[in-house]
Every structure is written in structure tokens, then in C-alpha cells.
């Protein structure tokens, strides 16, 4: 799978702005589930930021190609491939130092609350992309 799928010039400001909004909504939703492990965008690691921007890039690229059947599944599958490519593996708890994450499982094996996070992500990407498509 490609690393940076959209050229750097196209990544800014649209991709980063979309990523920040998706990240912050995800962080707030995660907190509502009792998960306070996600830091705000300004305090997040470069790897975390790149992971979110990768997800936004893949969403836009797949939409351009017209290849999206189940966007939340596709987004999750691509997120897994991206994480594994960076050395992450399944673990019962998320741990950035050990690179473990409990969501590194098939979409159907995710708890409903994490499937909902995937749906939030692709829905945000869809409407933010529509909002910015003429401007960027």
C-alpha cells in the first residue's frame, strides 16, 4: 500500500484540516466511551497525525476512483494495513511505545462502538471533502 498517496502540495491545507477535525471528533467520542488515551491534535505524535492524514487521503483517493462499496470497512482495512506497515500489532490495550492496538482486527470483529467510530470518520471525510472540493 502506498505511503503518501496524495502529493504534499495537495495535502495542505485541506487534508490536514480534515484530519484535525476527524481526529478531534474521534477523540471526544473515545472519551465518551471512557478512552482518554487520544491526545488533542497539537499534542499528538507525528505518527498519529500521519495515520489520520493517511486515512483522509485514502478516503479521497478511493472516492475519486469510484471504488468505495463499504467505506467504513475499506477505511478500517486500509488503516490496519497502514498500522501493520508501521510495525503495529494486535494487543488488548493501545500502547504507542509497544505499538499495540485492540482494533487491529477485522471490521466485523470490532465492537459496535468502534464500528461507529469508523462510520463517523468516513462520514466526516465525505462532508468535509464536499465542503472543500471547490476551494482546494
- The strand ranges marked E within 1-136 are 89-90, 100-101
Q: Per the confidence metrics, is the pTM higher than 0.85?
A: no
Cβ neighbors of 124 (< 8 A, separation 6 or more) are: 18, 21, 22, 25
- The total of structural domains in the chain comes to 1
User: Which residues form the domain of 110?
Assistant: 8-132
Residue 38 maps to a domain: yes
pLDDT tens series, the chain, 136 aa: 444 455 544 566 889 999 999 999 999 999 999 999 899 999 999 999 999 999 999 888 887 777 666 889 999 999 999 999 999 999 999 998 999 999 999 999 999 999 999 999 999 999 998 887 754 4
Tracing cell 500521519 back to the chain, one arrives at 50
Residue 3 maps to a domain: no
Residue 2 maps to a domain: no
Residue 101 maps to a domain: yes
Residue 73 maps to a domain: yes
Residue 104 maps to a domain: yes
Amino acid at each position: 500500500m502506498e505511503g503518501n498517496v496524495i502529493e504534499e502540495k495537495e495535502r495542505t491545507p485541506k487534508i490536514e484540516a480534515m484530519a484535525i477535525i476527524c481526529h478531534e471528533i474521534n477523540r471526544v467520542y473515545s472519551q465518551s466511551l471512557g478512552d482518554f488515551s487520544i491526545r488533542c491534535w497539537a499534542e499528538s505524535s507525528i505518527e498519529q497525525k500521519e495515520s489520520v492524514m493517511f486515512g483522509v487521503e485514502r478516503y479521497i483517493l478511493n472516492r475519486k476512483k469510484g471504488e468505495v462499496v463499504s467505506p467504513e470497512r475499506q477505511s478500517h482495512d486500509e488503516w490496519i494495513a497502514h498500522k501493520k506497515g508501521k510495525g503495529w500489532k494486535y494487543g488488548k490495550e493501545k500502547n504507542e511505545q509497544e505499538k499495540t492496538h485492540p482494533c487491529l482486527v477485522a471490521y466485523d470483529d470490532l465492537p459496535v462502538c468502534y464500528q461507529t467510530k469508523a462510520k463517523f470518520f468516513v462520514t466526516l471525510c465525505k462532508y468535509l471533502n464536499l465542503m472543500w472540493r471547490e476551494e482546494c
